Amino acid sequence: MDKYADIRPYNDEEVPAALARLLADEQFLDVIAEHNLPKWVSSCSKVSRPLVRARLKLKWRTVNNVEAVQNEVATYLSMLIERTTDKVTYSGLEQLDKDSAYLFISNHRDIVLDPALMNWGLHQNNLPTVRIAIGDNLLQVPYITELMRLNKSFIVKRSAKAPKEMLKALSQLSGYIHDSLDEGHSIWIAQKEGRAKDGIDFTDPALLKMLQLHGRRLKLPFAEYVRKLKVVPVSISYQYEPCALAKAKELYHKQQFGEYQKAEGEDIKSIIDGFSADKGNVHVAFGTPINDEFETPEQLAEIIDKQIIENYHLHSSNYLAAGETEQSSHEEAACFNDTLESIPQELKEFVLSMYAQPVKRKSSI
């Protein structure tokens, strides 16, 4: 029996059926039409749906395994990088062994772009791409689930609430991560649940406790088990934060009213906005596998945080927000000020803090 069937990515044999389900999904066809066809065509579903379906069927006629899906994704990602970034750079890739599997734990600024851009760097340097952890809160729409599982994503069951149900879900997840690594498949997972909307990156010890659940089954001490997983911290930084305005609105709402309830479809909108927004320069820094001395999840979290903060590449936007204007050109300052001009006055403080926090945290260590 496949004990991970309900959370794992699709395998090669499952790709054709998943693509067929997408071609039959009217909501998916409408989204593709909306973003790829003239409005006068996309607004008429009787015309747009058959047109999109025919085009996709032709385009996908040779896509029948996971590698072919990944190549399709790489094509789209290449266009996205060209259209919405000035450049994407990488560091630390030379420290990775293409024959080893790693558990990449990264800071989290964008729902999909963080692992996608990390994967792009691996792909461009002939290194294996990773299996990506994604919360089931993002999979409320069937076509999103299909797309994610086609692209090597596995499901984190965040919706489990009852203690026994949570333990079962976390134990399954812990076992899946271990077994994937043991089979030679690298993993990406964010350092905590949800994006760092305030610009403060930190690792939640609860994530590391989840990893140890399978270690307990193997009767291995925490530090010994984690070293077996080959944890590599990853820092991703954007010159212009994806969804900065939406993040600031959420922080402002929490400050004013004590809580924030997401609207239906808000996460999907964040994914689309993250894809389409200008990101300026982006840098992805790969750290080194952790071999430090530690005994507890809290100590390990501090070690991961230290690498992520030290390796975080500071952009002109970070320095300008922190008041260190000498680090930026006049052109960079003018561009950042233009960005701030479009931000409502009550949100500017949150946006500035979002950009300034990496400078402050780097100074603190």
Q: Which single residue is written with the structure tokens 């996309």?
A: 42
Q: Report how far residue 265's alpha carbon sits from residue 252's, in angstroms, rounded to the nearest whole number.
A: 20
Q: What does residue 255 show for φ and ψ, rounded to 5 degrees?
A: -65, -40
CB 301 within 8 A of CB 208: yes
Helix (H, G, I), strand (E, B) or coil at 238: strand
Distance (Å) of CA 151 to CA 66, 105, 211, 343? 7, 19, 23, 35
∠ at Cα 3 (12, 100), nearest 5°?
60
In 3D, which of 205, 209, 207, 233 has the Cα closest to residue 222? 209
Q: How far is CA 178 from the centre of its chain?
A: 20
pLDDT of residue 85: 97
Q: Report how far residue 52's alpha carbon sits from residue 253's, in angstroms, rounded to the nearest whole number.
A: 39
Q: What is the pLDDT of residues 182-233, one digit of tens each?
A: 999 999 999 999 999 999 999 999 999 999 999 999 999 999 999 999 999 9
Rounded to a whole number, what is the largest CA-CA distance in the chain?
63
pLDDT of residue 1: 67
Q: What is the pLDDT of residues 140-191, one digit of tens each?
A: 889 999 999 999 999 999 988 899 999 999 999 999 999 999 999 999 999 9
Q: How is residue 162 annotated by DSSP? A: S
Q: Report how far residue 47's alpha carbon sits from residue 43's, in angstroms, rounded to the nearest whole number.
A: 9
Q: Report how far residue 143's alpha carbon sits from residue 12's, in angstroms, rounded to the nearest whole number.
A: 18
Q: Report how far residue 296's alpha carbon sits from residue 205's, in angstroms, rounded to the nearest whole number.
A: 9
Q: Report how far residue 31's alpha carbon sits from residue 183's, in angstroms, rounded to the nearest whole number.
A: 36
pLDDT of residue 307: 98
Q: Of all helices (H) and strands (E), which one includes residue 281?
A: strand 280-286
**Which strands, in side-by-side order, build the sheet including 85-91?**
85-91, 280-286, 231-238, 103-106, 187-190, 131-135, 153-156
CB 313 within 8 A of CB 297: no
pLDDT of residue 364: 87
Q: Token pair of 106, please?
A: 């990264």
Q: Token pair of 36, please?
A: 């790829």
pLDDT of residue 264: 83
Q: Which long-range contacts (CB under 8 A, 24 or more apart) does 248-254 make?
A: 248/343, 248/347, 248/350, 248/351, 248/354, 249/347, 250/197, 251/197, 251/198, 251/350, 252/346, 252/347, 252/350
pLDDT of residue 365: 80
In 3D, which of 52, 46, 47, 55 has the Cα closest to residue 31? 52
pLDDT tens per residue, the chain (365 residues)? 699 999 999 999 999 999 999 999 999 999 999 988 999 999 999 999 999 999 999 999 999 999 999 999 999 999 999 999 999 999 999 999 999 999 999 999 999 999 999 999 999 999 999 999 999 988 888 999 999 999 999 999 998 889 999 999 999 999 999 999 999 999 999 999 999 999 999 999 999 999 999 999 999 999 999 999 999 999 999 999 989 999 999 999 999 999 898 888 888 889 989 999 999 999 999 999 999 999 999 999 999 999 999 999 999 999 999 999 999 999 999 999 999 999 999 999 999 999 999 999 999 88
pLDDT of residue 267: 87
End-to-end CA distance of the chain: 49
